[in-house]
Structure 1
Amino acid sequence: MRCSATIRVVLVLCTLITTWYFAETMYPNKVDMKSLKRIFDNIAEEEPTKKKVEFSCGNEKPCPDGYFAFRIISGAGNVVGPSICFDNTIIMSSVKNNVGRGLNIALINASNGTLIKTGTFDMYFADVKPLLEFIKPVKDGTLVLVASYDDPGTNLNEEARSLFKEFGSIHAKKVNFRDAWIFVGGKGINAESSFEQYLQNNKETNKYDGWPEVLEVEGCIPKKSN
């Protein structure tokens, strides 16, 4: 019995030795798995991590030196308020609790980017007088950023429309009940603005029930030289 057990142990050892010998003979350049893992780990560590680059105001492209970045989003129906970002600072939004239905306007110094003041003007329930008192005194070198919410045009009279036209708007003359409108212009620019979007309230094409879809515009505004 003892002899039989000894023979079985010897056979197992012989089998293991033979297997090892042929493996070494047939695969002399085999790669140790632990070493292979370390190689892949090193490659992963050397691979640069690709991160999404975020530009001022969340814009898709950066602005060159000497320019201000901006982004304006109109209100969504009568539910979500508009947003105005300038030089990477949100200056008007629902979160800041300084927007309202009608026209939301920010006045900014075009030379240094300083916020002069903001205002919200109800164009449905209120008259146009407060709006005129806000925009008539605007001085040369002032940027005018406008975002609509709900109804920007019902009580917008010809005097107010003409003032926005002087700021560079090409759509102010036709803004009406529940239209969507966003605009960046300025006093004394003497040119039509490149940053304006307008969408008419049309029950056949409205995205929301009774209101057109949200508008959005972003870009770079050159600083005004003194």
Structure 2
Amino acid sequence: MRLAGPLRAVAVLLLVGLTWVFASSILGGDSNSVVKHFFSEPKPRRYTCGLSAPCPQKHLAFRVVSGAANVIGPKICLEDKILVSSLNHNVGRGLNVALVNGTLIGYILPVCLPLSDVTDLLKYLLPLHEGTLVFVASFDDPATKLNDEARRLFEELGSTAVKELTFRDSWVFVGAKGIENKSPFEQRMKNSKNSNKYEGWPESLEMDGCIPLRSPSEG
């Protein structure tokens, strides 16, 4: 009877040892990997376009990232589809704009506004249909070539920051044709030598969220 306690202890140690060997063999024979596997913090799950939480039904997940200085181009993601990026070879200095049908998941060809010409931007923004979503990401300098008409059009799409947008500001924005209120999806970082992250440019901006789909009757 006195041996029961020690025997149980030996059995427990053997069981732990066998479990360790088994786990180690599964994880490639590295005992350190076993420790990391059981004690490391789990990586947070990422959802559509890298969001930290899923969007509700009948909502579009998006992420908009402005360019970094004049080196790294902007990116626009919608429902895990990259609409604008350097890898897509469709970014340019100035404003990078993607137009999307807001009543269903049908993508209109993204357009890029170069710094040298604002007429292309007006050509796309003036005839927009009701409900069209407009995604904007700045790169290098979004403001120098903007005229009053272009700024007014962005205000009609829900922007509050465009009227104050200046040389080399960072700007990300999502608006819509026919929006009744100001857009909740907008960020601006002012170009200031006292707070700039890069020499001559503010830091890049990153914005994500969920946009409710409009029903066809609303469009």
Please report the TM-score for the alignment, with normalisation by the length of structure 1. Answer: 0.81
Deviations 1:140-174 (A, max 9, x none): 01000000000101010000000000000001111
Q: What is the Cα deviation at residue 94 of structure 1?
A: 0.7
Whole-angstrom distance in 1 between the partners of 2:72 and 2:60? 26
Question: In the superposition, relative to structure 1, how do residues 39 and 220 fare at CA in structure 2: closer, same or farther (>3 Å)?
Answer: same
* Alignment match, 2:49: 57
Whole-angstrom distance in 2 between the partners of 1:111 and 1:80? 32
Please report the TM-score for the alignment, with normalisation by the length of structure 2. Answer: 0.84
* Alignment match, 2:143: 153
Aligned alpha-carbon RMSD (Å): 2.6
* Alignment match, 1:17: none
Whole-angstrom distance in 1 between the partners of 2:190 and 2:15? 67
Deviations 1:162-212 (A, max 9, x none): 000000000111112111110000001121000000111111111111011
Deviating above 4 A after TM superposition, structure 1's stretches of 4 or more consecutive aligned residues are 23-26, 39-45
Structure 1 residue corresponding to 2:154, chosen from 157, 161, 164: 164
* Alignment match, 1:83: 75
Q: Which amino acid aligns with 1:88?
A: D
Number of equivalenced pairs: 201
Question: In the superposition, relative to structure 1, how do residues 212 and 25 fare at CA in structure 2: closer, same or farther (>3 Å)?
Answer: closer
Whole-angstrom distance in 2 between the partners of 1:216 and 1:51? 21
Report which of the two structures shows the higher radius of gyration computed on alpha carbons: 1
Structure 2 residue corresponding to 1:132, chosen from 122, 139, 142: 122
Structure 1 residue corresponding to 2:14, chosen from 13, 20, 34: 34
Whole-angstrom distance in 2 between the partners of 1:129 and 1:96? 23
Question: In the superposition, relative to structure 1, how do residues 199 and 51 fare at CA in structure 2: closer, same or farther (>3 Å)?
Answer: closer
Deviations 1:93-133 (A, max 9, x none): 0111111100000000111121112111123xx13211111
Q: Unmatched 5+ residue regions in structure 2?
A: 25-36
- Give me the identity figure in percent: 45
Q: Which amino acid aligns with 2:137?
A: A
Q: What is the Cα deviation at residue 134 of structure 1?
A: 1.4
Instruction: Select between 112-121 and 161-170 the one with higher mean Cα deviation.
Output: 112-121
* Alignment match, 1:104: 96
Whole-angstrom distance in 1 between the partners of 2:114 and 2:16? 69
Whole-angstrom distance in 1 between the partners of 2:18 and 2:45? 31
Q: What is the Cα deviation at residue 36 of structure 1?
A: 3.4
Question: In the superposition, relative to structure 1, how do residues 42 and 192 fare at CA in structure 2: closer, same or farther (>3 Å)?
Answer: same
Q: Which amino acid aligns with 1:116?
A: I
Instruction: Select between 159-168 and 49-58 the one with higher mean Cα deviation.
Output: 49-58
Whole-angstrom distance in 2 between the partners of 1:25 and 1:179? 76
Whole-angstrom distance in 2 between the partners of 1:155 and 1:68? 31
Q: Unmatched 5+ residue regions in structure 1?
A: 1-22
